Amino acid sequence: MNRLVRILIRPALVLSLFTVFGLVLAQAANPVVQVRYDAQLGHILTDASGMTLYVFTNDEMGVSNCSGGCAENWPPLTVEGENVPVAPLAVPGEFGTTQRDDGSMQVTYNGWPLYGFVRDTAPGDTTGQAANDVWWVANLNPVVQVAEHPEHGSVLVGPTGMTLYLFTNDAMFASNCAGGCATNWPPLVGGFNAAAGVAPLAGDGVSGMLDLIERADGGMQVTYNGTPLYYWIRDSVPGDATGQGVGDVWFVVEP
């Protein structure tokens, strides 16, 4: 039985040089894990080199069931010692380590061991997504949280604390924002095992129902009580809500 060591990572109070879309989340020095936004898969975990990290649904919480030839194709993310030396900033959930059969310490996220994939050759590659219906990119969880805004009160935010919006021209469980619209209003997509249809994880205070809808580009967009959720490209740091009231059709979402 592998031994699991959990380390709670609390969001940083101040996040500088932060950007959500397409770039790596600001980190402390020498990060073991980073965060990248993918237009179809959402906020995904990567290693220090920017290579995508995956979870294996045949694992157990805190226990890796991938060894031998499996581990050659899906190299475990390991560290020296029991602790994750440097944690990502403003990332919800728990990072820790679990001891593998060979004695090495594998990094875990919310209890799930993390792996790379040998067929990914460059940062941003996600060729292992949905492999054999048991390998999935590692997404940030919870996907939706509640934050207090000084002007708008309680609002829904994504996993990195960025404000979420609704589009009044959408229909229930259907997005009418694509192309240039989706460039300016990136949909909240992904979530652990999203492609397998597993419901997104809600943070404390999120009392409504979270679900997933498939977009035309194949991405799985998160909905709240049937309403698709989006970011606004002009928001730059958590707490920004500059998209409120844009065109009289975009509004922050109250929990």
Residue 45's φ and ψ, nearest 5 degrees, are -85, 145
- What does the pLDDT read at residue 199? 73
- What does the pLDDT read at residue 192? 55
- What does the pLDDT read at residue 231? 96
- What does the pLDDT read at residue 104? 93
pTM metric for this prediction: 0.76
Distance CA 132, CA 188 (A): 25
> In sequence order, what DSSP letters do the residues of the chain get, joined into one string?
-PPEEEEE-PPPS---S---SSSBPP--SS-SEEEEEETTTEEEEEETTS-B-EEETTSBTTB----THHHHHS-B-EESSSS-SSPPTT--SEEEEEE-TTS-EEEEETTEE-B--TT--STT--TTTTGGGTEEE-B-SSSBEEEEETTTEEEEE-TTS-B-EEETT-BTTB----THHHHHS-B-B--TTGGGTPPPPB-TT--S-EEEEE-TTS-EEEEETTEE-B--TT--STT--TTTTGGGTEEE---
Q: Alpha-carbon torsion 243, 244, 246, 250, what sign?
A: positive
- What does the pLDDT read at residue 110? 87
What is the identity of the amino acid at 100? Answer: R
Per-residue pLDDT of the chain (255 residues), as tens digits, is: 343 433 333 333 223 223 444 334 444 445 688 888 887 788 889 998 999 999 999 999 999 999 999 999 999 999 887 666 555 656 788 888 899 999 999 999 989 999 999 999 999 999 999 899 899 999 888 789 999 999 999 999 998 899 999 999 999 999 999 999 999 999 998 765 555 556 788 888 898 999 999 898 888 899 999 999 999 999 999 999 999 999 999 999 999
What residue has token string 């809500």? 241
